[in-house]
Each structure stands twice: as structure tokens, then as C-alpha cells.
Structure 1
């Protein structure tokens, strides 16, 4: 079974202002490193990061780095999928979620099956990190816009949802650092 991690970090960060939020310091390190380090600690066969700012590349040791123009989350997903050759499991992590842990990522990975994805849950909605089986990758590739895979996760049964209190914050504005 081929298991791949996909770190999405190519957004425009418009609400953050002119600086790249993924380079902003949080707890003494660039924001991107928090999610990247958590993902690196999950035993996977491949680690791929999709970025739009080439300055992020040096932070991503151990990742296959794909540089694309800034765009929506679906653009990053499609670029990552095009680079990967249909892994059996695809664990998707967002670069602006600094509180995800290797344990959460491992649980999400373990709860996906050959016929259905798994996702984190904030008490109200399923959300990334999420893991998709090979059978669902064509659905991911068909997405457009900045909503990502949310609509593919909304009807997941409870056994595919991992509660992650305090771990699903994403950084959008400077005052959230």
C-alpha cells in the first residue's frame, strides 16, 4: 500500500496582508514548519508539498516540492495529485494549521478505507486534515475553486471522523499568530 502526504501551502494569504503568512513566526518558527514537521513524523511512503512562494522550499526537507502560481485550494490539490501516481491513501494537511499533531494525522490516516475518506472534526464540521483512498482521487481532481474537499467530507459517518479539539485552528490574519 502506497501512502502519501500532501501539504497544501500555495494560497494567496490575502487576509494576512502583504507578507507570506507561512513565513510568519509562531512559537519561534515559521508557521509552515508546524504542519510540515507534524506530517514528517507520520510514516508515509512519500511527502509532497505544493507551494507558490519558492522561499518556502528550504523549509521542506524530505518533501517533493511543487511550485505553482498562487491560486485556490483546488489548484494545489490538482497539482499534488498530478505529481503523485495514484497512491492508495492520500493524507492532506494544510500548511496554515499549526496545531495539528502527528497523532491526529496518524488517526486520520488509519480511519480511511478503500472506499471512503476520513477527516478531522471540530465538533461541527468535518475538515482537514483528511485522508482519501485511491478510489476517491478522481473526485478530488475534479474540484475547482477555493473550497477544497469540504463537500466530499460533509456526509462522512461518525466512525470516519476524528475529534480534534484545539488542533484545527488555521491562521488567516496576523492577529491570529
Structure 2
């Protein structure tokens, strides 16, 4: 059995433009800590290797919780001084390239603080057998999404906001059923944050986990 474990690539480079409150959504306080801190705590508890892909603006927040070796700060500009590419696809590609010796990768947005460590471990186990696996709660697709090492070149070729849509259309994906509503819960808006404060076990009714497949 392969003793190495897939790496969790935590995506914390987005601007969070849909969050209309004060400050970035990852800085918001929930259950006595920030959204980012809760996501990272759950990830660390899984025992899986982790890399946080972040921006220059959010790097100070990330450094409060992880060592420099466990984070990748995306540049604001390329070598010619032009604005560097942004988007989920670019973040995934950079994170996977930086952990290229891993036997697979779990992609987890940093604004999903309720995903349980056991769920991360279950998806990690699944990609030892299948090229792609994703967490599913009561028939609804969610995060994380896992990819095994044979998809390295495909993942590092992602760009912009395309996310994993192209890969999920080309390769079979295995659903991993988990008793974890957190796989459907993100903090994308002020309303999402308030809903979690009232009842942290409830995803928004309209959330079908579309970001998993659409980027």
C-alpha cells in the first residue's frame, strides 16, 4: 500500500467579491475564530499534507496559522510587470505543480470551514482507486474533489476560472457518500455567514455544490 497520502490544496487566493461585508470573507469570525482558521484546523486534523494557495493580500492572514513551507503566495505580477493571472483554475494548477510528488490532490476552497477531517480522509482513500472522487451528502455533490496522480498534467494546465469542469467532463468521477453537510456549506456572502452562525449544520437550500464542477 502506498504510504504517501494525497495533498490537500486549500484555495485561499480569491478576492471574495460576492461578500459585501466589512473585510474579506476569510477574515470573518465564526465560532470564535476566522473562517480561514476553521478550514485549516479541520484540514490539519485529517492528517493529510496541506498546501495553502493564497494571494499577497491574504498572505499575512494565512501566516498566522501555517508555516511558510505549507503556503504558496501567488505573485501579483508576472515577469513583465503585467497583472498575474487569477482564478480558481490558476490556483489549482499552481498548487498541484508545487506538490508534484504527491500521489494525488484534494481541492478545498478556504471558505468551507465545516468540512470534517473524516470526509477529507474518505475522499483521499477513494482516489487510490479512481481518477476523480468527490464528497457527496444526501445525493448532492460537494467539496472536496480529489484527483489522483495520473491527472497531474491536466491539473497543471488549468487556467482562469475554469476550475475542474473540463476534467470532470472527460474522466469518470466517483461519489463518496458522507454524513457531512459541511461539504455543501461555503461562506460566499454575508447571508451565508449569518446562516452558519444561527445553525452551522444547514447548507443553503439552493446550494447544489456547483462550484465543484464549474470552477
Instruction: State the TM-score, normalized to the length of structure 1.
Output: 0.86
145-154 vs 129-138, greater mean Cα deviation: 145-154
The residue aligned with 1:71 is 86
The residue aligned with 1:55 is 60
Of 4, 8, 18, the residue aligned with 1:5 is 8
State the 1:115 CA deviation.
Answer: 5.2
How many equivalent residue pairs? 174
Q: Secondary structure at the match of 1:93?
A: strand
Aligned pairs (5 A) from 1:1-177:
1=2, 2-3=4-5, 4-17=7-20, 19-44=23-48, 46-52=49-55, 53-62=58-67, 64-68=70-74, 69=76, 71-113=86-128, 116-123=131-138, 126-153=141-168, 156-157=172-173, 160-164=174-178, 165-167=180-182, 168-177=184-193
State the 1:153 CA deviation.
Answer: 3.2
Distance in 1, matches of 2:126 and 2:136, equals 13
* 4+ residue segments displaced more than 4 Å: 122-125
Contact 1:127 1:153 in 2 (8 A): no
Q: Deviations over 1:54-101 (max 9, x none)?
A: 222233325611111482111211221221123112122110011100
State the 1:9 CA deviation.
Answer: 0.7
* Higher Cα Rg, which structure: 2
Instruction: State the TM-score, normalized to the length of structure 2.
Output: 0.72
Distance in 2, matches of 1:12 and 1:120, equals 25
Unaligned runs of 5+ in 2: 77-84, 194-215
Distance in 1, matches of 2:104 and 2:96, equals 12
State the 1:113 CA deviation.
Answer: 2.6
Contact 1:127 1:150 in 2 (8 A): no
Distance in 2, matches of 1:120 and 1:147, equals 20
Unaligned runs of 5+ in 1: none
79-88 vs 30-39, greater mean Cα deviation: 79-88
Contact 1:39 1:102 in 2 (8 A): yes
